Structure 1
């Protein structure tokens, strides 16, 4: 009974909220890319770049402006997040250029990005820190309380002392849902992902909208990487993404290519991820529990992918001259 209670404990739920965030942010990025018609499996590699440059930006900003950071400690992690977002956009730009402009196979481009990111992060880490697999420690954000919720029984325990990035991530879900449903940008992005020829006929630039979707995916995946390095580990180390970029793609599919759906799916995967980190008290081999997030991902995809309603032109290159 004690073991069953631990499966729904507040401590486990609080941990799940924290580990859900990098999956959620990356899944949001995938929604933007694929709603515009571009598959970006390079999000895992972009996350790797986000973890590395998040730690680098945080570390070197603190080294360059120690008095400023002492006065306002959160400036260093802000610099790290911005560096990670810029790195994510730069990597996503490569994917957009190759797939949208030159119409290279999107899966091949994504795989190449993942391989490039892993090697580049190791090379740059040796260059900057004279070691291959780990950066120095970095400072995270000051935890915050949500005033309206912190005194609510049970709920207060979940939102007390949380990272500001969690609040930002949840706000981004709501904003993204509104953007895709209610704004001109969102309607145009969805149009080029469903029927690019019709969108082009109406004067919508398919190339511009697809670039925008891919770059947004890079920014959000970079931010997810920064969260891992700055808020969870407080440093960069090789392999820290642990396939979360691919899990995020599964969350996007399970969420039916919508931000709110991606939130629910990410929370499910985040729960099993958190469970795999808190299995000491469970009478189950650790090796079995540690693969749970990936097993759940496979089962979800196997059972849901045939019923999923992906954008009609998702993964299909568009050329005005060929239509």
Structure 2
């Protein structure tokens, strides 16, 4: 809580005196950090500047809810962040406890497996607890046992999926802080935060911001290695009867190019049958012949992947129809 109060108000400090408690002998120029000064926050909250300083320094660890709500209003915190601030100061016993194993309800697991959309279950600590093949087609890291924080911050291949990686990480950390809430003594929480804080400066910077945002839906843009630029809607639904598990689903706008790409990705996840293999071979043979007839001098070898089939369909649609029927 003390860190959150310090970052909430921008204080004028000298370069050699980051605490604001002394003067610099080498440089008298003052650096002004954008935001309210400590005494301004105290005045707007209706408390003394000395009391606000004691809260900042952790010398008063039991402020009333009314005081915290007044400070939240002075800092213009949104509802989620204000609730988080009040929760940090709630007087309740803390004890280290073993993190219980998160188990996906059987009905939800069956639902994920049968959905024709990319879907996975995310635990309280952003562990992937269940995922269907189409979700894995979006990202190979969306598999049971993976952790979204580790992958997004530490895996270069996962980072490459997000055109705006910095925005994605900011939203991810804000949602993680909201999900964990005040259980900051949980061993699982300590393990993750410690590991990622040591791994790189990006996580440390975002964690120090104390941003809080509810786990909710939105639009995500991917740079998919096969489908190219892919923009999908993301829905996050709380699974009742669990401690913060979320059912996450991606879907495209109807009749859009993104919907077509998603459908092609879905078709690639269907296990082929022996008869389907014969049909694909026939289709590829006829398509290759059609391509050579259209451009005999071409040296391009046609691929039987869905990307090649899509490209061929645009230039040789009637041939594809005949081949599929044969």
Q: TM-score, normalised by structure 1?
A: 0.20
More helix by share: 1
Which has the bigger relative contact order, CA under 8 A and spacing at least 6? 1
- TM-score normalised to structure 2 length: 0.20
